[in-house]
Structure 1
Amino acid sequence: MFFRWDWLRPVLTAPIVPTLGPVHPHTLTVDLFEDTLRAAAADRAFLHYDKDRRWSREKDETVLCGDVVHQPDHTLIPTLTRHGRGTVKVFAYGHRDSVVDEAAELAAKLAVMHDALSARVVRPLGPETEFPRGTRIQLQDFTAGPCPDPGGPVRPVTDWPVAVQETFAPFASAMAADGLAFLHRQMQAGRCGPVLAAAVDGRIVGAIGPMEVRHDAIGCPQLMPQYFAVLPEARGQGLGRVLWRAAMHWGQSHGAAYQLLQTEVGGPSDRLCQSEGLASLGFSHSTQVWARRDRA
């Protein structure tokens, strides 16, 4: 075993694991961190509970095992993402502020060594953080109470009339920045679960999906993350809330015990989830510390 849990556990201010992202606190054990090292040694192998398995055959991000810094009061875990021109990220676990500076120095050095385009530091922060930035990790617990069907103009895309279904393509193109164009390609290839869509006047103006339940590291059923967007001109009518509640109803109805969401602090989805009573598990703040200047 590489990691000492008595060193690592006290500095895990938020349940974030390198290459896996946020995890439910009930799965947060030393085994998760050890598994990321074993996956790296297997060269781009997926862990069986990795949510990214839905989209690729090879793992894009791996831990740089030989460069991990593991000390009694802090742990730095660097990863390399091969997608595009490469990014090194160093996950900085520790309570003292100087851990960020140490992580930044390591990230910049490793980016040069691996000819990566950029280097970043990822700092997990606890839910008590006074002025959070970055993304908030939120928990929807389906065992805490019912998630009723909200009704409204929401149904799976394939349940709408064909003329309405055909409006999904321009909607997805308009919301490409929110991942809907990518989602549309997965739908066309039959590679994902159902997508819920809201339609007004015969046109799709909002969607959330794919709707899929998979098991986490300890076998608990989890509603997987979704892409979620509403056209700007259709906002302010409550459609986003109806879509989100419909997704939560679907997840609970299909046996999910929980869902983890990541929302931009202060953004519309963040405010929605907070108003719906989700539990905040902490924050993740990412900072770019270095980028190559000599590439076209």
Structure 2
Amino acid sequence: MFFRWEWLRPQLTAPIVPTLGPVHPDALAVGLFEDTLRAAGTGDFLPYDKDRRWGGEKDEKVLREDVVHQPGRTLVPTLTRRGRGTVKVFAYGLHGSVVEEAAELAAKLASVHDAAGARVVRPLGSDTTHPRGTRIQLKDFTDTPCPAPDSPVHPVTTWPASVQKTFAPFAEEMAADGLAFLHARMQAGRCGPVLTAAVDDRIVGAIGPMEIQPDAIGRPQLLPQYFAVLPAIRGQGLGRVLWQAAMYWGQSHGAAYQLLQTEVDGPSDRLCRAEGLSSLGFTHTTSV
């Protein structure tokens, strides 16, 4: 075993695992970190990796020979070849100097691997005074019932054909939010249901795909979704209706929880906070 839990556990201010992203606090264990090392040389997805639903090979891998693991700090570098390549160093440790060390390592490894990007990912605790970056939020489906939405939200495939046809231009307009990619997956029949809302027989908002997968300890997790509403329609509560419909779907289909990542103080962040989700901490990513 490479990682020592008695060293690593005090450094985990937020439940983030390299290449896997946020994990449920109950599933956070040294075995997850060990698994990322074993998977580094194979290109395979771990069975509980949320990205395995997209198929192909795992794009991001841990640079296992360059991991730094000591009592005061743990630096875990990863490499992705997507685009022009990016090295990320996950900086675990309670002292501010860990960020400087991670930045030096990221710059060095980006040069070694001819990667255009070098970044430092810093997990921060939920008690951070002035959080920046991304908030990790937990929706627990086991504590209270999720109400059905009070406005019509339907899978795109159940709308009349004339309404279904409006999804393509909607997806193209919201390409920056991942909807064009999602539409391509839908056309290939390679994803779960996508919930949508329409105004005047035109789709103006969507959330999906709706999919559930066991996590590392076997608990059913509602996987993250793409989520978008046309700018002209925002501010009317439609985003909340779509989100509530997704949570209702997840609970109704047996999910135990969902983990969400929201930009601090962004619209989705404010929505989740208003809905009473639990904050598990933050991640702040900086370019080197």
TM-score grouping bracket, smaller chain normalisation: over 0.9
Which residue in 2 is equivalent to 1:36? 36
Q: Distance in 1 between matches of 2:41 and 2:238?
A: 45
Q: Which runs of 4+ in 1 moved over 4 A?
A: none
Residue by residue, what CA displacement relative to the aligned partner does 1:196-222 show, whole Å, maximum 9, x if unpaired?
A: 000011000000000001100011000
Tell me, yes or no, if structure 1 residue 89 matches structure 2 residue 91.
Answer: no
Which residue in 2 is equivalent to 1:24? 24
Unaligned runs of 5+ in 1: 290-296
Q: What SS does the aligned partner of 2:57 have? A: coil
Which residue in 1 is equivalent to 2:242? 243
Residue by residue, what CA displacement relative to the aligned partner does 1:225-267 show, whole Å, maximum 9, x if unpaired?
A: 0000000001111100000000000000000000000000010
Tell me, yes or no, if structure 1 residue 180 matches structure 2 residue 179.
Answer: yes
Q: Distance in 2 between matches of 1:5 and 1:199?
A: 50
Unaligned runs of 5+ in 2: none
Contact 1:196/1:247 (8 A) holds in 2 = yes
Q: Distance in 2 between matches of 1:34 and 1:105?
A: 24
Q: Distance in 2 between matches of 1:131 and 1:188?
A: 43
Q: What SS does the aligned partner of 2:143 have? A: coil
> Over aligned residue pairs, what C-alpha RMSD do you find?
0.5
Q: Distance in 1 between matches of 2:117 and 2:239?
A: 35
- Aligned letter for 2:45? F
Q: Distance in 2 between matches of 1:188 and 1:151?
A: 29
Q: Distance in 1 between matches of 2:120 and 2:251?
A: 35
Tell me, yes or no, if structure 1 residue 8 matches structure 2 residue 4.
Answer: no
Q: Distance in 2 between matches of 1:13 and 1:209?
A: 30
Q: What SS does the aligned partner of 1:190 have? A: coil
Q: What SS does the aligned partner of 1:105 have? A: helix
Q: What SS does the aligned partner of 1:225 have? A: coil
Which residue in 1 is equivalent to 2:66? 67
Report the CA distance between 1:57 and its aligned residue: 1.3
- Aligned letter for 1:91? F
Q: Distance in 2 between matches of 1:185 and 1:131?
A: 39
Q: Distance in 2 between matches of 1:14 and 1:162?
A: 45
Q: What SS does the aligned partner of 2:262 have? A: strand
Contact 1:78/1:107 (8 A) holds in 2 = yes
Report the CA distance between 1:153 and its aligned residue: 2.5
Q: Distance in 2 between matches of 1:198 and 1:237?
A: 12
Which residue in 1 is equivalent to 2:124? 125
Report the CA distance between 1:49 and its aligned residue: 0.6
Contact 1:63/1:80 (8 A) holds in 2 = yes
Tell me, yes or no, if structure 1 residue 137 matches structure 2 residue 170.
Answer: no
Alignment of 1:161-240 (within 5 A): 161-240=160-239
Q: What SS does the aligned partner of 2:129 have? A: coil
Q: Distance in 1 between matches of 2:213 and 2:7?
A: 31
When the two structures are superposed, what TM-score results if normalisation uses the length of structure 2?
Answer: 0.99
Tell me, yes or no, if structure 1 residue 288 matches structure 2 residue 282.
Answer: no
Q: Distance in 2 between matches of 1:148 and 1:38?
A: 42
Q: Distance in 1 between matches of 2:227 and 2:186?
A: 15
Residue by residue, what CA displacement relative to the aligned partner does 1:43-90 show, whole Å, maximum 9, x if unpaired?
A: x11101101111131000000000000010110000000111110000
Q: Distance in 2 between matches of 1:67 and 1:40?
A: 12
- Aligned letter for 1:22? P
Report the CA distance between 1:151 and its aligned residue: 3.0
Q: What SS does the aligned partner of 1:53 have? A: helix
Q: What SS does the aligned partner of 2:218 have? A: coil
Which residue in 1 is equivalent to 2:266? 267
Which residue in 2 is equivalent to 1:293? none
- Aligned letter for 2:220? P
Count of residue pairs brought into register by the alignment? 288
**What is the percentage of aligned positions where both structures have the same residue?**
77
Contact 1:121/1:287 (8 A) holds in 2 = yes
- Aligned letter for 2:135? R
Contact 1:153/1:200 (8 A) holds in 2 = no
Tell me, yes or no, if structure 1 residue 104 matches structure 2 residue 103.
Answer: yes
